[in-house]
Amino acid sequence: MRVRSPLNGRWQQVPAGVRDYAAPEAARHSALAASVRSEFMRWGYAEVRTPPVEYLETIVRGAGAGIQDHLFKIVDTGGELLVLRPEMTVPIARLAATRLLPQTASPLRLSYVADVFRGQNEGRTQLRAFTQAGVELLGEGTLDADAEVIALAATCLRRAGVPDAVVHVGHLGFFDDLLAALPADTQDEIRARLYRKEFAGIEHAIPDPSLAGLLRLLPDLHGDDAVTRATPFATSARSLAALADLETLMARLRDYGLADIVRFDLSIIRDFSYYTGVVFEAYGAGSGYPLAGGGRYDTLLGRFGAECPATGFALGLDRVLSVLPTDGDVSIAVVLVADPSQRSDAIQIATDLRRRGVSVLILGAADDAPITAQRNSYQWVVRMTVDGIVLQDMRTETQRLVDRATLIAVLGTPSGDRVSEWTR
């Protein structure tokens, strides 16, 4: 096929903040989504779907007016102002409050894997379209519920293979109590600055020097003794209760076997205004930004007419993939080479393997097989020859002559490494 020299033009590119996924990247993305989905199911969370487009009023009602600068807005043919969903918690809160909770006894355990869209995404990553996977636990106002969703988030990261995963847990009851005496607009400004980790110059926004000094200390209130060091600053029953909740929560997370990766961090400020209590963020080696985040949002569903405690988290699949090692990513898949005289047998073998869940690509030219296998990260090359079937493992660059029954037994079962006596 002849490829013309491209002309310069925007049609060759995608807009800023979005990206294409070539086949190997798309396969890794799909595999991670499948892994997370299966983990959600094992914990009893049923998957739901919401439309990618919502009324602007819905998102603003749930996330607050400040969200508008971060939205992709659309005017439909009827003049209605719509938006692409910027996250999934608000759409699921709308769904649960208007349809699910009136028909079903709580608690509800819901999950999702969905694309979300941000008109602006300053300070963390430049992606404006990305995939989130998460859960919402609705109707449970207990620390056990908080512990469950944190444990599930940590389990998903561990299962994905995130290196050096760590979960930072805080409580907005402590932070909000510090800001309670400030005007609402000032509180919003402080939250936005602290979320972006902009501690320098924060004293200019706060008239109380002692409070400004305390807020500058927030980044240091992390680690095993953070609650102890924060106690002198807890000036009300609410802030003291928040610190006590964190101690109780940590004890429950130890029951899940997470003591080694969970840390107190009282500087955590989440990115949406609906959070009300326990909040958390998860990181991995070299991430520099949260791979997952969430917490309690007990007032959100009330904005849609259903008072209901709730907690949950969202995991960014693109962010997780960015920290996972790619070396050795190989699909359990086959490039099957056969000349025209062997095509019928090749089709039968391929059909047999596909029924067993193996991906099979049939080629007519043997010389192209290794390149095709490497390009698509396939593990196996199978050549049908006059002497029999040659099975080659692309990981080890070893091969062996096998009969059809052995080929099906090796490739059609999960334990494909049982072939021995390989030759180079």
In contact, 109 and 76? CB cutoff 8 Å: no
pLDDT digits (tens, 9 = 90+) for 182-236: 777 777 777 777 777 776 666 677 777 777 777 777 777 888 888 888 888 887 8
pLDDT digits (tens, 9 = 90+) for 259-289: 899 999 988 887 777 899 999 999 999 888 8
Q: Write out the residue limits of the CATH 3.30.930.10 domain(s) in the chain.
A: 16-323
Residue among 342, 355, 339 at smallest CA distance from 408: 355
Maximal C-alpha separation, the chain: 87
Per the model's pLDDT, the better-predicted residue between 148 and 121 turns out to be 148
Options 3.40.50.300, 3.40.50.800, 3.40.390.10, 1.10.3720.10; CATH of 331-418: 3.40.50.800
pLDDT at 419: 35
Query: Rounded mean pLDDT of the chain?
Result: 86
DSSP code per residue over 81-132? EEEE-S-SHHHHHHHIIIIITTTSPSPEEEEEEEEEE-S--TTS---SEEEE
Assess whether pLDDT exceeds 90 at residue 131. Answer: yes
Q: pLDDT band for position 101 (50/70/90)?
A: very high
Does residue 198 sit in helix, strand or coil? coil
Q: b vs e for 262-284, b when ≥16 Cβ sit within 10 Å of the residue's Cβ?
A: bbbbbbbbbbbbbbbbbbbbbbb
In contact, 153 and 166? CB cutoff 8 Å: no
pLDDT at 8: 65
In contact, 361 and 336? CB cutoff 8 Å: yes
In contact, 222 and 264? CB cutoff 8 Å: yes
pLDDT at 423: 34
> How far is CA 224 from its chain centroid?
26
pLDDT at 366: 72
Pairing, β 331-337 against β 359-363: parallel
The upper half-sphere exposure of residue 214, i.e. CA atoms within 13 Å in the direction of its Cβ, equals 20
pTM of this prediction? 0.82
In contact, 300 and 364? CB cutoff 8 Å: no
Does residue 291 sit in helix, strand or coil? coil
Q: Write out the residue limits of the CATH 3.40.50.800 domain(s) in the chain.
A: 331-418
Q: Give me the CATH code for the 16-323 domain, please.
A: 3.30.930.10
pLDDT at 124: 47
pLDDT digits (tens, 9 = 90+) for 297-332: 999 999 999 999 999 999 999 999 999 987 655 556
Measured at the CA of 311, the angle between CA 86 and CA 265, to 5 degrees, comes to: 90
Length of the chain: 424
Measured at the CA of 36, the angle between CA 149 and CA 280, to 5 degrees, comes to: 30
Helices 23-42 and 143-160, axial angle in degrees (round to 10): 150
